A and B are shown apart, each in its own frame.
Chain A
Amino acid sequence: MNGTIEALIAVTLVGSLVVMAGSDRYAAKLATAFSLIPLVGSLGMWATYDATGNALLGGDTAFTSRETWLALGPLPDIEWFVGVDGISMPLVVLTTVLVTLALVSAWTPIDERQSQFYGLVLFLEAGLLGVFTALDFFVWFVFWEAVLVPMYILIGVWGGPRRKYAAIKMFVYTNVASLVMFVGYTALVFGLGDAVSTFALPETAQALVVDNVQPDELAFVGGETLKVAAFAALFAGFAVKVPVVPVHTWLPDAHVEAPTPVSVLLAGVLLKMGTYALLRFNFTMLPDVARANILIIAAFAVVSIIYGAMLALAQTDLKRIVAYSSVSSMGYVILGLAAYTLYGVGGATFQMISHGLISGLMFMAVGVIYNTTHTRMVTDMSGMASKMPYTVGIFIAGAFGYMGLPLMSGFAAEFYVFLGAFQAGAFDVPNYDLLPAFTAVAMFGIVIVAGYLLFAMQRTLFGEYRLETDYEVGRAPLHDIAPLAVLLVLIIALGSQPDIFFEMIREASGPVADLVGGGA
C-alpha cells in the first residue's frame, strides 16, 4: 500500500474540518495554506511519476494502493483501489492547482460565513481527487457523489439572486444522471457474472475488452442488449455532467449563480469528471458499442460545439458567455474521444486540462471585473481597459487562448483533436469515413468562438470608458490578479511545450486508441 494518494485526500479532508471549525477571520488564509499541501504533494507525485500504459488496459499505475475493503457475499467485492496513470495524473495536478487559485480568488468576493465556504471547497477538493484516482467503481462513485453535496451547498448559499433554483436544478439533474449511470454500470457488472468478482475497473475492462466476455442475460435483458443499455445509461449519466446538448441547461444557470471561485472549479474541474468518466467507462470498456454508434456520438459532439457557441454568441452577460462557451469546448473532448486515434483520445485529455486552465482564467477575470464594477452586462460596460489594464490584459490573453491562438494550450488541444478526428477517417471501420466531415463542421466552432469573444471584448474593454456605477472602479488588488497571472503562465507553458503533459497522456491514450483503429 502506497499512502501518497490517501495522504493527499486525508490532508484536504482534515483541512476542511479544521477550517470549518475555525473562525471566519482566518478561514481564507488557513484554507489556502492547507490547499498548498496537496498542491505540493501532487507536484511531487508528478515529478516522481513512473506509471506505464493505461490503468485499465494492462498498464501499471503509480502510487497504487489496493486492498479489499468490503466483501459483500455474492456481490462484487469492493476494494480500496487508487492509483494514477497518464490520464489521471494531469487531472490531479489540475485539480490541486485550480483549487488553490480558486481559494485565493475567493478572498475578495466571499464575505460571509467564510469558514464554511472554505471548508466546503476543501471538501470538494477531496472528492475531486478521489474521482480522478479511484480505480474501483464503488469507491469512485462514492467520491463522484461526494463532490455533489458541497457543490449544492456552495451554489445554494453563496450564489447570486437565483441561487436556490440553480442549485436545485444542478442537484436534481446530476443526481438523476448519477443514478442512471450507477444502475447501468452495476447491471453490466452483474451481467458479467463470474467473469468479474470485483468492482475494480481494470478487471472489468480486462474481461470486457481483452477477454471479450459477453455479459449474461439479466432478467429480461439479453447480453448484447445489456451492453448497449449500459453504454447508453453511462453515456446519459456522463453527458449531463459534461454537459452535452440537450442536457446542458443546468450548467449556465449554475455558473451564473455560483460565486466566482465555485464557477472556476465547476468549469475547470467538475465538467472534466464527465469527460474523464466517458473516456474511462464508455470509450475504454465498451469500444465496440461506441464504434457501432460513432455517428450518433459525433453528432452530439458537433451539436454541442456549434450550438453551445451560438448560444454564447447570443448572451449579453460576460459570465454566461464563458459558461456557454464551456458547452462548446467540452464538445471537442467528445469529438476527440469518438475519433479513437492517439491524437484524438490524447487531444481530448489535453483539452480537458487546457479548458480547465483557460475557463478558470476567464471566470476569474470576469469575477475580478464584477468585484469592482458589480455588473457583468456587456451592454453596461465600455472601455474597461483604461481603468483596469492588468485584469483586462490577462482577460484578452485568456480569450486568445480560448480562440486557439498558437503557443497557447487551447491551440495545441484543438489541433490534436482535429488531427485525430481527421486521421480517423482512414479507419477501415464502417461510418468512420464520415468523421472528417463532422470534424469540418465542428471546426466552424472556432470561428464562432472568435466571433463572440472578439465582439464581447470590443464592446466591453475598448473604446471610451463608460459605466454607470456607484462603485469606484480601479485596479484590482494583487491577490485578485495573481491567480490570473499564474493561470496565464500555465496556459502559455502548456501551449508552447505541450509535452509537459502530452508525453504521459500519449502513453495512456495509445491503448485506448488501439481498441478501434490503431494508434496511428
Chain B
Amino acid sequence: MFGIALFVDPATGNRRLIAGLSTAGALGALGVAAAYLFTFSGEAVHPFGDALVVDGMSLLFAVIVASVTAMVTLASYNYLAEHSYQAEYYALVLLAATGMTLMASANSLVTVFVALELASLPSYALVAFLKENKGSVEAGLKYFLVGALSSAIFAYGVSLVYAATGSLQLTAVQEAITGDFTGLLGMGVVMVVGGIAFKTASVPFHFWAPEAYEGAPAPISAFLSSASKAAGFVIAFRVFTEAFLRVGSGEFLVLGADWVLVFQILAVVTMTLGNLAAVTQDKVKRMLAYSSVGHAGYVLMSLAALSGGGASATAKIEAGQFVLAGGMMHLFVYGFMNTGAFLFIALAEYWDVGRTFEDFTGLGRQAPVASVAMTVFMFSLAGLPPFGGFLSKYLLFGAAVNSGFVWLAAVAIVNSAVSLYYYSKLVKALWFDERPADKKPLEISSRPVGLYAAVIFAAVVTTAMYGVFGPVSDAAVEAAAALL
C-alpha cells in the first residue's frame, strides 16, 4: 500500500524527470501515509495472513521514511549532476525506502527479515555508488560485510526463536513461549538484538556507521542515518513488545532473555561512546556519523525504560507506552534535523568545500542561508530550544523519568551537554573562525536549487516542529498503546 513504485526506463537521460518522479513518488507516499495516520481509526489491518500489519506505528514510520526519502531524492538531483547511472540510483533509493516502509509493517519474523534485506541490499550498493572514489567503495564493502554478518546473526536468532516456539508470527511467538527451551529462546532473542543493533547503528554493531556515512554520497548518508535507523527501531519496537513481552496480566513479563536490561546497557554504552567519539573527530561527516550513533543511544532508552513505571500495573503500562512514544517522536524529529545536516554536507561536497572543520570556516559568509539552516540543525541535534530537537529530547527523557529511570535520563542529559561541544564547534567554524591563510579560498559559484530546497525545508520543519508536535505525539502515544 505504501510501497513507492516507480516505473521509468532506466536508460532515459532525462535527469529532471527521474528525480522529479522519485520526489513526487515519495511525496505522494508521504501524503497517503499522513492522511491515513491522521484519520486512523485505531483498528489495525492485517494483510497477507497477518504477516504484515498496518497500524498507527507503521503509518507514523511510513511518514518518517517518506519525508526523508523525498528530501534525499530532491537533493540528489543536484548532487548527482555529474554522475552516471542516475536512474539506477533513484530506483535503489526507492527500493530501499520500500523496504524500510515494509519494515515498519512487518508482523512476522520472516517478513522482518525479508524487509530488512530489501532495505539493506540497495543500501550497500548506494554506499558504494561513487565507484571512482576509493572511500565510497571501501565503505560499501565494509557496510556489506558487517551487514551480511549481522543478517546471518539475525537469521540464526530467528531460527532459534522458531525452534523454541514453533512460530514466526510475532503474537503467535509470544503466545507460544512457555517455560521450555528458555536457553534456546534466550540465545535467539539476544541474536535478534544484534541484528537490530546493526540496522540502528548501535553498539556493538555500530562500527560500520562512521565508515559508511563518511564514504557514501552525502544524501545516502542522510538516508541511512535517518530513515534506515528509524526503520531499524520500528522493528525493535514491534518485535520486542509483541513477541518477547507479555503484558496480559497487567505486569511486564519479559520473555526469552532479560532484553530490557540488555537495552539499558546498550543505551548507555551507545550514547556515551557515540558522543565521546564525536568529540574527537576533525572531519565533519564523521562527527555527524558518531553523533548519529549517540542519537541511537537516546532512542534505545525507549526500550530500556520499558520495565519501570508507577505503582500500579496500569500506571506501569501507561509509562511504558509513553516512553515508546518518546522514542518514536525523537526519530520523527531526527528524520528532519539529521537529514538536513547531512544534506548540508552534500551541499558542501557539491561545492567541493572539503571535509574537516577547518574547511568549513567562512562558509557562513559565502552561503548564509544554508549556514543558518545548518546552525538550526546543529542546535536542534544538541537539544537546544527553540528547535524541534529540544522538544523530542524533553519528551523522551521526561518519559524515562516518568518511568522511574532518573539515572538513565541523567546519563542522557550529560551526554547531550557533551554533544553541544562538537555541534557548536561546527557553528563556530561556519560563522566565527577566520579562514586560515593556507586554505584555498571558498568558491561558491552556484546555488543548486534542489539541495537548497531540501535543506531549507528540513530547517523550517525543524523549527516549526512546535506546530505539529502535538498531533503527531498523540498519534505516537496511540501507536505505542496498540503495542503494549
Contacts and interface: CB of A to CB of B under 8 A. Distances in A.
A175 interface: yes
A511 to B, nearest CB: 30
Contacts of A73: 318, 321-322, 325, 399, 402, 473, 477
Interface stretch (A42-50, A156-164, A278-286, A460-468): A156-164
A74 B402 contact: yes
Contacts of A167: 432
Interface in A38-94: 69-75
B395 A75 contact: yes
A179 interface: yes
Interface string A106-149: 00000001001000000000000000000000100111111011
Given A116-B368, A145-B385, A171-B424, A74 B432 contact: no
A183 interface: yes
B322 A74 contact: yes
Interface string B379-419: 10000111000110011001101101011000001001100
A165 B161 CA distance: 57
A164 B428 contact: yes
B402 A157 contact: no
A75 B431 contact: no
Which residue, A71, A219, A220, has most C-beta atoms of chain B within 10 A?
A: A219
B138 interface: no
B319 interface: yes
A360 to B, nearest CB: 26
Contacts of B432: 156-157, 163-164, 167
B470 interface: yes
B415 to A, nearest CB: 12
A190 interface: yes
A168 interface: yes
B420 interface: yes
A365 to B, nearest CB: 28
A292 interface: no
Contacts of B357: none
Contacts of A116: 368
B162 interface: no
B406 A156 contact: no
Size class of the B contact interface (CB-based, 8 Å): 35 or more
Contact of B428 (A74, A146, A148, A156): A156
Given A70-B469, A73-B477, A219-B407, A179 B417 contact: yes
A163 B386 CA distance: 24
A70 B402 contact: no
Given A75-B395, A116-B368, A176-B417, A219 B406 contact: yes
Contacts, number: 81
B404 A75 contact: no
Contacts of A72: 395, 398, 473
Contacts of B420: 175
Nearest to B379: A149
A75 B398 contact: yes
Contacts of B401: 186, 190
Nearest to A218: B406
Nearest to A164: B432
A153 interface: yes
Contacts of B319: 74
B470 A157 contact: no
Contact of B404 (A148, A168, A219): A219
A116 B407 CA distance: 42
Contact of A186 (B398, B399, B466, B469): B398
Nearest to A156: B432
A286 to B, nearest CB: 20
Nearest to B476: A73
A407 to B, nearest CB: 42
B117 interface: no
A167 B425 CA distance: 12
Contact of A74 (B318, B413, B466): B318
B407 A70 contact: no
B433 interface: yes
Interface in A174-212: 175-176, 179, 183, 186, 190
Contacts of A175: 384, 420
Nearest to A115: B368
A365 B195 CA distance: 66
Contacts of A219: 404, 406-407
Nearest to B433: A164
Interface in B337-369: 364-365, 368
A183 B431 contact: no
A440 B69 CA distance: 68
B433 to A, nearest CB: 7
Contacts of B379: 149
Interface string B315-333: 0001101100100000000
Contacts of B394: 138
Nearest to B467: A69
B319 to A, nearest CB: 7
Which residue, B325, B375, B413, B432, has most C-beta atoms of chain A within 10 A?
A: B432
Given A73-B318, A75-B395, A146 B386 contact: yes
B428 A69 contact: no
Contacts of B386: 142-143, 145-146
A170 to B, nearest CB: 12
Nearest to A138: B394
Interface in A260-310: none
Given A72-B398, A153-B431, A183 B318 contact: no
Nearest to B405: A219
A174 to B, nearest CB: 11
A144 B385 CA distance: 8
A419 B420 CA distance: 44
Interface string A376-394: 0000000000000000000
A145 B473 contact: no
Contacts of B416: 179
A163 B431 CA distance: 12
A294 to B, nearest CB: 30
A71 B398 CA distance: 13
B431 A156 contact: yes
A60 to B, nearest CB: 28
B384 A168 contact: no
A70 B413 contact: no
Contacts of A163: 432
B103 to A, nearest CB: 26
Nearest to A146: B386
A499 B140 CA distance: 73
Contacts of A75: 322, 395, 398-399, 402
A70 B394 CA distance: 12
Nearest to B319: A74
A176 B385 CA distance: 13
A437 to B, nearest CB: 40
A168 B425 CA distance: 10
A325 B466 CA distance: 40
B384 A70 contact: no
B481 to A, nearest CB: 10
A141 B406 CA distance: 21
B349 to A, nearest CB: 25
A153 B325 CA distance: 35
Contacts of B473: 70, 72-73
Nearest to A130: B386
Interface of A: 69-75, 113, 116, 138, 141-146, 148-149, 153, 156-157, 163-164, 167-168, 171, 175-176, 179, 183, 186, 190, 218-220
Would you list the 9 A-B pairs with minimal beta carbon distance, nearest first? Answer: A219-B406, A142-B385, A145-B385, A156-B432, A73-B322, A146-B386, A70-B470, A142-B386, A75-B398
10 contacts: A72-B398, A73-B321, A73-B477, A149-B384, A156-B431, A156-B432, A167-B432, A168-B424, A175-B384, A220-B406
Given A143-B386, A146-B385, 17 more contacts: A69-B470, A70-B470, A71-B474, A72-B398, A72-B473, A73-B322, A73-B325, A138-B394, A142-B390, A145-B384, A148-B384, A149-B375, A156-B431, A157-B364, A164-B428, A164-B432, A179-B416
